[in-house]
Amino acid sequence: MLLITGGAGFLGSNLAATLERNSRDKIVICDYINIQKEKNLKKRNSRKIVHPKNLLHFLNKHKKEIDTILHLGAISSTTEENINLVAENNINLPIKIWDWCGENNKRLIYASSAATYGNGSKGFDDDNSLKKISALVPLNLYGLSKHIFDLLVVSYLSKKNPKPRQWVGLKFFNVYGPNEYHKGSMKSVIAQIFPKAKIGKSIKLFKSHHPKYKHGFQKRDFIWVEDCVNIIIWFLNNKNINGIFNVGTGKARTFIDLVKNIFKNMDSKSQIKYIDTPKNIRKNYQYFTEAKVNKLRKAGYRKKFTTLEKGISLYIKDYLNSSNPFR
């Protein structure tokens, strides 16, 4: 049995879709289901749903059946300010899951985040050493919570406490793709731009407030969600590999590139209006992210990553511009 926390969310529902098609394992989803997330599951046959408050009870009841926990659930908003809420969901719960997997000899693959790298001044190297991870300075509460759990994981490795049979932390960069529609302002830029572009409205991008970057030339490592799913499944198939790994393409692209490709797939000209970055996020704004993927490649992952051009084309033609945009 594979249990996916956050299984009705963006990444979780995409993973469930692929696993349902390719895996013989029973898939169980643990998540808070609302009207929007319910749409992410309408095409799924795997409808065993566990409410998060019942998670530990479910785990203990099904110890023999569960092989792996894919912990993707979290408070993922980068503007969330409720410390208690974030700590409970992004630190305390993962600790309980880690301990349970260790005590019961189970496998754990969990979602970390590129937000742990902060402004990137310390680089984007997924080195597992406590010294390297400790040097990172996240810019928001979400990134800090993921950073703290990564630190705890690395520190646990030096202790005698039981560890999961396999443990993998994945630092996801800027993921985009179907089933992210419930995320509001946390949706990818592509999903936010498309509805306006479709009806001919001008697209708003944040101005640069950094002398090194022109307006629209801020860069992100945008990664197609199916590439993320492929990496998770690769780790599922390679049970002896442990560690914290970046999940990005290794190639940063500008927002200008992104917008031009959106309009290209809609056969229209790009219309861009630059607006001031809101002051409440301006000091924590990331101007550049780019995953170092050497470690993942060295571990043996060989698949090529989807280019931004192809990913945007797939997203628009197969989902965003479809009468049924869900996967």
DSSP 209: -
| Closest to 237 measured CA to CA, from 153, 166, 310 | 166
| Closest to 14 measured CA to CA, from 44, 55, 52, 34 | 44
CA-to-CA separations, 264 to 309, 313, 321, in angstroms, rounded: 9, 9, 14
- Decide: 245 and 189 in contact? Cβ < 8 Å: no
- Decide: 291 and 222 in contact? Cβ < 8 Å: no
- Which helix (H) or strand (E) covers residue 57, if one does? helix 55-61
Give CA angle at 305 (151, 290), nearest 5°: 45
Instruction: Collect all residues with Cβ–Cβ distance below 8 Å to 57 and sequence separation of at least 6.
Output: none
| Closest to 291 measured CA to CA, from 245, 243, 226 | 245
Gap between the Cα atoms of 313 and 317, Å rounded: 6
Gap between the Cα atoms of 63 and 80, Å rounded: 34
- Decide: 233 and 158 in contact? Cβ < 8 Å: no
Q: Given its phi and psi angles, is residue 101 left (phi above 0), alpha (psi -120 to 50 degrees) or beta?
A: alpha
Joined tokens for residue 279: 């002051």
Instruction: Report CA torsion sign: 279, 115, 302, 1.
Output: negative
Gap between the Cα atoms of 8 and 6, Å rounded: 6
Q: Catalytic amino acids?
A: 142, 183
